[in-house]
Amino acid sequence: MGSLTKSAQIWLDLKNGKDLFEKILESNRNQSEYQYSDWLSLDVSLKEDALFLNGISIANDSIDEYLGIFSNTLPISNNTIALAPESSDSFISFTFTDYKNFSKNQNKFLDYSVSRDSIFSAVEEIGISDIDNEQVILLKTYGTANISDYLNSIQSNSLEYQGGEIKELRRDSILQYSFYPLVENFDPKYATVLENTFAFSNSQETLEDFINSNKSGQTLDKTLLIENIKDLTTEESTQLSVSNSKGLNNNLNKTGLGILSALFQKANLTDYVFGSQIVSDAGFFHTNYFIKKITASAAEQEHWKCSKHNWIRTFI
C-alpha cells in the first residue's frame, strides 16, 4: 500500500522490464550490458522547487546486477569529495568496508574464475570527478605501499610540481580493468598521491589543477552545490553522486540516455543540484534520488547582507 503522505509511489521490475524501459528511454546502451537491480521501489515527493525519490533497491542475483557488486559490504564516509576540485561538474563516490567481498562480487559480475590481483586490496573508496571533458579518479586507501610499488613499476617519467611528484605512466591492463564497471575507460597517463589517496588522470594539467585546488582549499565540499545536499544525505554511503546541470547532461549523454538529457535541457534547470545516495544494508539498498534548486545558506545570506550594507555605507 502506498504512503498517504507522498505524492506518488513507484514500483519498477527492472529485471523483466529492462527492454521496455530501454525502448521508452531510447537508450543506446548495449542490450547485453548489466542491469541495475531486480526491483526498485520509490516514494515520490514533489515540492515547489524540488523532487525527492526515496525507497529501496533489491538485487536478488548479484551475478549480472550493478548493485550486487556491493553485497556483503558496508558503507563508510565519502571522504574523497573533500579532495575533488571545486570546478567539478559532477562527482561520484563508491565505498566498501571489505575489499575481499567487493572483489569476489566483481569476479561474479565479470564471470572471472581466477583470483584478482591484490594490488588494490587496501582501497576503501573510489571517487570520480568530472571537470569539463577531463576526469580525476581518486583511490582512497588505508595503506599505500602496494599501489606505490605498482605505480613505480609502470612509471616512465617523474615530474616535480608544487613540492610533490606527478608520475607519468605506461599503459597497463591492471589499471584499466581493476574497478570496472564502477570506473569505465580507466586508462590514465598520470598519477600523484596526496596523503593516503591516489589521483589519476589522462591530463598532466588536470592533475596540476587538482594539486592546486587542494593546496588552496578550493575543493568541492566547500561549494554551495554540496551545502545544498547536506540535509538530504547521510554521512556514510555506498554510492554518493552529485552534479550541476552541465555534469548531469554530460553523464546522461555518455550513458546513452540523450533523450533525458534533452528533457532536462529543455526544462532549463541550470540553478539546480542533482544527486543520489545508495546505502547497502542486509539484503537491500536504501535508495535516494533528488533534484533541488540551489539556495544560499543562512550564513552566506548574512554575509551577503553585511557586504551589501558595507558597500552602501561607502557611498553615503
Contact 267, 307 (CB under 8 A): no
Contact 61, 34 (CB under 8 A): no
Q: Report the pLDDT averaged over residues 137-161.
A: 95
Strand partners, 192: 199
Please tell me the total number of residues recorded for the chain in this structure. 316
Residue 3: band (very low, low, confident or very high) from pLDDT cuts 50, 70, 90: low
Measured CA to CA, the distance from residue 84 to residue 92 in angstroms comes to: 10
Measured CA to CA, the distance from residue 238 to residue 281 in angstroms comes to: 10
Q: Report the pLDDT averaged over residues 69-75.
A: 90
- The DSSP secondary structure of 69-121, one letter per residue, reads GGTT---EE-GGGGTSBTT-SEEEEEE-S-HHHHHHHHHHHHT--SPPPSTTT
Decide if pLDDT at 146 tops 90.
Answer: yes
Helix, strand, coil percentages, rounded to 5, for the chain: 30, 30, 35
Which tens digit of pLDDT belongs to each residue from 5-54?
667 787 777 666 666 656 555 555 554 455 676 778 889 999 989 999 99
Q: Report the pLDDT averaged over residues 95-101.
A: 91
Strand partners, 9: 43
Torsion from C-alpha of 76, 79, 80, 86, nearest 10 degrees = 140
Residue 316: band (very low, low, confident or very high) from pLDDT cuts 50, 70, 90: very low
Measured CA to CA, the distance from residue 189 to residue 172 in angstroms comes to: 10
Q: How many CB atoms lie within 10 A of CB 78?
A: 27
Contact 169, 148 (CB under 8 A): no
DSSP state of 87: T
Q: What is the pTM of this model?
A: 0.85
Residue 307: band (very low, low, confident or very high) from pLDDT cuts 50, 70, 90: very low
User: Would you state the pLDDT for residue 18?
Assistant: 64
Contact 67, 44 (CB under 8 A): no
Question: Among 79, 54, 58, which Cα is nearest to 70's?
Answer: 58
Decide if pLDDT at 155 tops 50.
Answer: yes
Q: How many CA atoms lie within 13 A of 164 on its CB side?
A: 18
The CA radius of gyration of the chain, in Å to the nearest whole number, is 21
Three cell numbers at 184?
569505465
Q: Element (H or E) spanning 205, and its range?
A: helix 204-216
Look-up of cell digits 539556495? 295
Measured CA to CA, the distance from residue 294 to residue 152 in angstroms comes to: 43
Question: Among 171, 206, 205, 174, which Cα is nearest to 189's?
Answer: 171
Q: Report the pLDDT averaged over residues 222-230.
A: 94
Q: Report the pLDDT averaged over residues 130-158.
A: 94
Q: How many CA atoms lie within 13 A of 128 on its CB side?
A: 22
Three cell numbers at 42?
520509490
Question: Among 35, 25, 26, which Cα is nearest to 62's?
Answer: 35
Q: Report the pLDDT averaged over residues 231-237.
A: 93
Decide if pLDDT at 144 tops 80.
Answer: yes
User: Would you state the pLDDT for residue 185?
Assistant: 79
Measured CA to CA, the distance from residue 69 to residue 101 in angstroms comes to: 8
Strand partners, 193: 198
